[in-house]
């Protein structure tokens, strides 16, 4: 349920409504837009039948939301969500944020060299996996906390932010000590305990779409984060499984305008996992920018043929620099910056 307040609603009236909602065992979430303040109510709406909210001072009207993702819905917040991070980086604004780095953190020297290169090319985030969810238990699983320390050190030395994956509820506190943004990977998109823990942490989250998840599934997972009071959430389209075998996944660029229509949350495109092949990364990154994405995540490695994971889809630093130049031209064409 959404409570739309009058333009002249006072802070006291807003607090009064929130107090009454809580007394009924429901959770109010206040969203302050440019012209209006709305309150999203989470819980059993039947409890509101005994106390109609339309009669409260400051209330203009009350809407029942049929979509199951209430806080992620455009009905709750019509404006695009934006949030500030360190180094003046704004997620969801006019400028498209770029995250780049190796799939796995392998050693510090390589990571630092890549960080310097992607920073020079215009990236804002250093991405890299310290904990790696691998299909095979015999594949490289990451360096763990040592990898987190490398990420933080390389990012601090180059002025980048860190985005890295958290795989387990027991890791949230640890990863939060080193990362600026927590990544919830495709395989964990519906790990609801992990979603709740990341929501409680209030740390910015990049939520990746599951391998076979619908857009609705993705938004419902985002709702778990929002329902815990964490609105610093960015969604990620990273490709889904289809019958097509010429690419690793099928990068669903249809999802970008669909997500932008359905939700106020910013959305990022990962053309590296979305295609699985180096030759296709740049074209699909530019297509993502043209489709309206708010961010790009690109895998970059000094020597992809020696990478411990995903070398076949990793760009070399020079290729990443060339991609950024082309992506800027596309961004300008659609009224954005990179």
Q: Which residue has the higher pLDDT, 68 or 333?
A: 333
> Which has the closest alpha carbon to 114: 101, 103, 124, 98?
101
Q: What is the pLDDT of residue 54?
A: 84
**Are residues 294 and 255 located together in one domain of the fold?**
yes
Q: How much is the pLDDT for 163?
A: 98
Strand 59-63's sheet: what is its strand order?
27-32, 37-42, 2-5, 59-63
One domain, residues 261 and 301: yes
Same domain as 164, residue 90: yes
312 located within any domain: yes
214 & 274 share domain? yes
Task: Say yes or no: 118 and 161 in one domain.
Answer: yes
For the segment 90-95, the average pLDDT, to the nearest whole number, is 96
Closest-CA residue to 59 (of 20, 97, 100)? 20
Residue 338 lies in a domain: no
For residues 331 and 335, what is the distance between their CA atoms, to the nearest angstrom? Answer: 6
Pair 187, 318 in one domain: yes
* 78 in any annotated domain: no
> Has residue 167 got a pLDDT over 60?
yes
Domain count, the chain: 2
Domain boundary among 63, 91, 111: 63
- The CATH number of residue 29's host domain is 3.30.70.1140
Note down the domain range covering 90.
83-333
Q: What CATH number does residue 133 fall under?
A: 3.20.20.70
Does residue 100 sit in the same domain as residue 143?
A: yes
Query: In terms of domains, do 154 and 222 share one?
Result: yes
Residues 146 and 235 in one domain: yes
Structural domain contains residue 137:
yes
pLDDT at 231 over 80: yes
Kindly state whether residues 315 and 180 are assigned to the same domain: yes
Cβ-Cβ contacts under 8 Å for 158 (sequence gap 6 or more): 112, 115, 116, 119, 126
pLDDT digits (tens, 9 = 90+) for 107-164: 999 999 999 999 999 999 999 999 877 677 767 777 899 999 999 999 999 999 999 9
When pLDDT is averaged across residues 212-232 and rounded to a whole number, the result is 97
pLDDT at 226 over 80: yes
Shared domain for 231 and 314, answered yes or no, is: yes
How far from chain centre, in Å, is Cα 255? Answer: 14
pLDDT of 100: 98
Q: Is residue 307 predicted with pLDDT exceeding 80?
A: yes
Kindly tell me if the per-residue pLDDT of 50 is higher than 60. Answer: no
Residue 48 in any domain: the answer is yes
The reply to whether 77 falls in a domain is no
- If asked whether residues 246 and 215 sit together in one domain, one would say yes
> Mean pLDDT lowest for which of 22-31, 39-48, 197-206, 249-258?
39-48
Is 321 inside any structural domain?
yes
pLDDT above 80 (res 47): no
Let me know: does 42 contact 26? Beta carbons within 8 Å.
Answer: yes
Q: Is the pLDDT of residue 42 over 70?
A: yes
Q: DSSP string covering 248-288, please? A: SSB--TTHHHHHHHHBSS-EEE-HHHHH-SHHHHHHHHHHH
Per-residue pLDDT band at 91 (split at 50, 70, 90): very high
Tokens for 114? 């890549």
Whether residue 69 is contained in a domain is answered as no
């Amino acid at each position: 349920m959404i409570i739309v307040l009058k333009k002249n609603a006072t802070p006291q009236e807003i607090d009064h409504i929130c107090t009454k909602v809580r007394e009924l065992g429901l959770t109010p979430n206040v969203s302050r837009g440019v012209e209006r303040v709305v309150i999203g109510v989470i819980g059993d709406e039947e409890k509101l039948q005994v106390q109609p909210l339309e009669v409260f001072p400051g209330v203009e009207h009350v809407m029942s939301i049929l979509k199951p993702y209430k806080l992620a819905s455009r009905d709750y917040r019509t404006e695009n969500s934006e949030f500030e991070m360190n180094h003046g980086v704004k997620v969801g604004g006019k400028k498209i944020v770029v995250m780049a780095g190796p799939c796995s953190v392998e050693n510090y020297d390589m990571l630092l060299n890549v960080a310097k290169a992607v920073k020079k090319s215009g990236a804002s985030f250093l991405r890299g996996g310290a904990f790696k969810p691998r299909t095979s238990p015999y594949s490289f699983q990451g360096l763990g906390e040592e990898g987190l320390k490398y990420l933080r050190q390389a990012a601090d030395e180059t002025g980048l932010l860190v985005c890295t994956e958290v795989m387990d509820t027991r890791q949230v506190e640890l990863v939060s000590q080193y990362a600026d943004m927590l990544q919830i990977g495709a395989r964990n998109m519906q790990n609801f305990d992990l979603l709740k823990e990341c929501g409680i942490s209030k740390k910015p989250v990049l939520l990746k779409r599951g391998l076979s998840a619908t857009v609705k599934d993705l938004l419902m997972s985002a709702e778990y984060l929002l329902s815990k009071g964490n609105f610093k959430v960015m969604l990620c389209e990273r490709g889904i499984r289809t019958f097509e075998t010429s690419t690793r996944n099928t990068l669903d660029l249809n999802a970008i305008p669909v997500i932008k229509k359905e939700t106020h949350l910013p959305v990022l495109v990962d053309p590296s996992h979305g295609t699985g092949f180096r030759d296709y990364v740049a074209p699909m990154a530019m297509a993502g920018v043209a489709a309206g994405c708010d961010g790009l995540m690109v895998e970059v490695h000094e020597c992809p043929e020696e990478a411990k994971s995903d070398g076949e889809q990793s760009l070399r630093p020079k290729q990443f620099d060339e991609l950024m130049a082309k992506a800027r031209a596309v961004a300008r064409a659609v009224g954005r910056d990179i």
